[in-house]
Structure formats: structure tokens, C-alpha cells
Amino acid sequence: MRLSLTQISLTAVVALSVLFSSSTVTVSAAPAIRPVSYAGHRVVRINIQNQAQLDALTAHEESLQLDYFTHYKVVGGNVDVRIAPEHFAEFQALNLDYNVSIENLQSTIEEETQENDAYQTKFEKARKANARTPGQVFIAADWFAGYHTYADHQTWLSTQISTYPTIASSFSAGKSFQNRPQAGIKIGSGPNHVVFHGTQHAREWITTMVTEYLADQLLKGTDTRVAGYLQKYTFHIIPIMNPDGFVITQSSNRMHRKNAQVNGGCVGTDTNRNWGKGWGSPGASTNPCADDYRGPSAFSAPEALNIANYLKSLPNVALYIDIHSYSQLIMTPWGYSATPPPNYDSFLKPLAEGAANALAAVNGVQFTTGDIYNTIYPASGNSADYAYSVGVKLPLAVELRDTGRYGFNLPAAQIVPSGKEFWAALAYVLDNLGV
């Protein structure tokens, strides 16, 4: 299938990281086409030791065309950035304290691609064999062993819904900028609603798989605990919140973060800086080429507006989770303000801490907890803040594995461990919400 993207083609190299080399995107059988090369691009972790270093970094971020992988730009903080080889000497001249996390990003991407190409060959053979048995087109052991195309994710959803018709049904929160559905699966029939999604930021592939892993546990769980969840809650699960951006990462630019809207010659709005609560406060960029560009107005991105409207349409939303990567964090509002909500110490913080403890008990992986603003960075216009502002009892912003070794290119071998540990975190929260 060939999708025209001429409306978003670029006339020059886009500042920071949103680059295209053609005006069309081909959605292939495996996510292997990579027109944008990151050969020689380094990912470095900068230790910001004083205000002078922070000022120097901020003053040169546009000339260096820095792509911030993390955004904790404060004195005493660490920030991960991608630097193109032609700008590295200029970066070194700033005399910042840094260490290199990834020496050659293209090599990491190629390793990921080669691994996934080999997996896709095995997966297709397994799928054909499984298809001979009704209801067994996708076996969990096969599905969660690698990453998948957008088209396969849609097929996976429809297959789960047809396989479990008594507890599952389909829904869509709306259409993306390029008219793709924000497709989801609804599981259970309880009076309290739970909404969660992955891939709001397109390059965070692990979030799609973990979101689907959670759905798989709810669909196939046979113990009384899962049965109780399905009676108490109705789950609304959207694996790919930003489908346009996700397709771009598989066809044109593996490091694309935003959606596909054109803004001032650059592609994309950061949908997680575009929500209505706190929009325009510190913690989002006004530069259309920046990866955290907030958009020209609140809810100018249809992907954010659709999910917001869907949230508001549901009564008794007990839990909302926006699943991201990477940094290993479980966070609560606010992101737009340094002052947490009134029930932060009595309710929000204890639940986040309990979830992190439950997660750590599975594989020993440690997640940090806290409010968004003080734990990771100011982030105005984010989804968790908006969810809290419209009455969601517990909104969470999660950053999955890892802490920078692989970053957005987390090996497929970590999909199932990530899913298992976050399932434990989710179960803790569901057991302790008090609804």
C-alpha cells in the first residue's frame, strides 16, 4: 500500500530531527525502509552543573540542531540529546560535562532493523501455521517477540476482538491528521472506566507492545483477579495514539516524535504539549521545528483533541495512563506547575509509589515516582494534566525502559519483561484505587 504524503514533504533539511528525503511513504511488510540516516549521530548525556552551562546549552541548541531525547534542562539535571556529526566539534567547544550513550545512532537503528527483519520472517511463518486453527492467527509468544507494522497492529486488534466477542469490542477515539483511526479495544463491562494508550510519541515503539501486552493479559487471564477487574472496570485501550507519526517512524524517519501536521515548513506537533490544561505555560516550545512544539493553539492536533473528547464522554473514569518511553518513571500531575495537586501526598503519590514497588518486585527494575514537573521536567499541555482537570481520579504519565542504554531502540527481548513488570504495576493500581 502506498500512501501519499506530498502535503507534508519538506523543501529543505528540517531543523532538530524531523527530516524526510522523499514525498511519499511506503508501508512495507516489515519496518525496514529508512531514508533518513543517522550515521555518525551521537546520543550524549549532558550533566548540567551550573547556570552558565545551562545558558550555553540553551543558546546553542538551534545552531547545533539538537534533538532532545529527554528534556530535563535544569541545573543539577541530566539531559540526553542527539547531535549530528557536523555539529559535534561546535558542541565540544562549549566545554559541557557529558558522556556518550550511543556512539553511532545509525548502527543502533540498523541492529534493530536486522533483528526485526529476521523476526518478521519467523513471524510470518508462524502466522501462516497458526491461521489453520480458528482464533489462533496471533499467538502471544509469537506476537510479543518483536515489533510490528502499523497494518499488523490493526489486524492484531481486529483478531482479538473477533476471538473474544463476549468481553471485547472495537472503538475508535477519532481520526488522525492523515485520517487514520485511533483504533482501540474495549474490554470488560464494569461501571468504572480505565483509559490507556501507547505511542503518543511516535518513536517510542515499546509503548505499543506493552499496551497490547496489558490488553492480552485482560483478554486471556483466567484467574479470579482478572475476572474481578472485568466486572469492576471497563478498559479502553488504544495501542497507537499517534498513527501518522508511527507510520513515519517505520517508513521515513525512525526518530520522528510528533504527528504529521505541517507547521512553518516543519512536520509535526508534539501532541503531548497540545492538550488544553496549562497549554502555553513553560515546558513546551513555540518553535515549529522543535520536537516539543506545542502547536499554534491548544488542541490544534486532532489526535489530542479526539482522546480528550473521548475521555470527557465517559462517566467515572478512575484511571488514565499515557504510556511513554524512556526513563523508568511513574508520574502524576502536574506538569505545567511546580505545585502538585492538593491530594498529591494523600492519594496520587502513594499509588504511584506502590505501583513502582510492585513493578520492581517482578524483575528488580527500579522506577522513580513523583509529579511530572519536579520529577522529569516542566511539560505544559500534557495529557495527564488534562485528564486530572476533567475529573479522572488517577492520571499517570509513565516512562518505560530503559534509562538510556538503548533509548528508543529497546531490543525486542525486553518487550515481554517490560510487559510483565508493568502488568504488576497496573494490577496494584486497580486493586488500590478505592472505587
Q: Which residues are catalytic?
A: 399
* DSSP secondary structure letter of residue 285: B
The closest of 40, 47, 82, 75 to 61, measured between CA atoms, is 82
Q: Establish whether the linkage from the previous residue to 334 is cis, with ω within 30° of 0.
A: yes
CA angle, corner 400, sides to 398 and 402, nearest 5?
Answer: 145
Alpha carbon separation from 301 to 200, 201, 289, 297, 374 (Å, rounded): 12, 13, 15, 9, 26
The closest of 113, 189, 184 to 153, measured between CA atoms, is 184
Amino acid letter, 151: A
Alpha carbon separation from 277 to 226, 247, 374 (Å, rounded): 34, 28, 17
- Tell me the torsion sign for CA atoms 293, 298, 302, 303: positive
Q: How far is CA 53 from the centre of its chain?
A: 30
Determine whether 10 is exposed, middle or buried from the number of CB atoms within 10 Å of its CB (0-12, 13-18, 19+).
middle
Range list of H helices, 7-75: 51-60
* DSSP secondary structure letter of residue 144: T
Phi and psi angles of residue 96, each rounded to the nearest 5 degrees, phi first: -85, 155
